[in-house]
Homo-oligomer: A and B are copies of this chain.
Amino acid sequence: MLRLYDNRLSGNGYKPRLLLGHLGRAYERVEIDILKGESRTPEFLARNPNGRIPVLELEDGTCLAESNAILFYLAEGSRFLPDTPLGRAQALQWLCFEQYNHEPNIAVARHWLQHIEMTEAQRAQIPARQEGGRAALAVMERHLTETPWFVGEAMSIADIALYAYTHVAGEGGFDLAAYPAVSAWLARVAAEPGHVPMDPAPVGVVAPPA
């Protein structure tokens, strides 16, 4: 059975959880307390030398890191990965955007504001992170005024990757009401059959719906 090393507060961990829910695939979920350093132990670093969750452990013990690479792997051959080279590349374009322009601003602002005691250096960076996050939301808003889904005619891993931290952007100090097309898209994603919420994260073995 697939095993997911994960943290319940993490949007990066929620991405594969959400896709696995849509795929109806069973997996075992292992909670890693990143605030207690459990992602930096020698045992964990053997699974991912970069010391980050999520990590997907395959049936043969092979470990795959990076949430968006895990999404791509799980989605191959399913309706959540476009079936043309251009469609796949466009999905990847949004996954790269998510990791470079969206997550470091929106997820990091949320993490610092909600989950830790900020240092002075972190506090000083909050305005820049929020400015970067608003710029990312503006790029999404512009795209979503033209099309209901990020790539093609249906929900794909591009939507799943971007949903993870966008739907909790309020916790990072972002006002989603200012982005009506983004807000309507969030509701579309959450209304898809098979949707699972980020919170509460499931415990132990997660079985597909009967």
Residues of A bordering B, CB below 8 Å: 49-50, 58, 62, 64-70, 72-73, 76-77, 85-86, 88-90, 92-93, 95-97, 99-101, 103-104, 121, 124, 128, 139, 142-143
- Whether the Cβ atoms of B76 and A85 lie closer than 8 Å is yes
- Whether the Cβ atoms of A128 and B139 lie closer than 8 Å is no
Give 5 pairs: A residue, B residue, CB < 8 Å, sorted on A. A64-B86, A65-B93, A67-B96, A72-B89, A73-B89
The count of identical subunits is 2
- Whether the Cβ atoms of A68 and B50 lie closer than 8 Å is no
Chain B residues lying within 8 Å of A139, measured Cβ to Cβ, are: 49-50
Chain B residues lying within 8 Å of A72, measured Cβ to Cβ, are: 88-89, 92
Chain B residues lying within 8 Å of A89, measured Cβ to Cβ, are: 64, 69-70, 72-73
Chain B residues lying within 8 Å of A66, measured Cβ to Cβ, are: 92-93, 96-97, 100
Chain B residues lying within 8 Å of A77, measured Cβ to Cβ, are: 85
- Whether the Cβ atoms of A97 and B142 lie closer than 8 Å is no
Q: A128–B90 Cα gap in the complex (Å)?
A: 32
Chain B residues lying within 8 Å of A88, measured Cβ to Cβ, are: 72-73, 76
Q: A125–B43 Cα gap in the complex (Å)?
A: 32
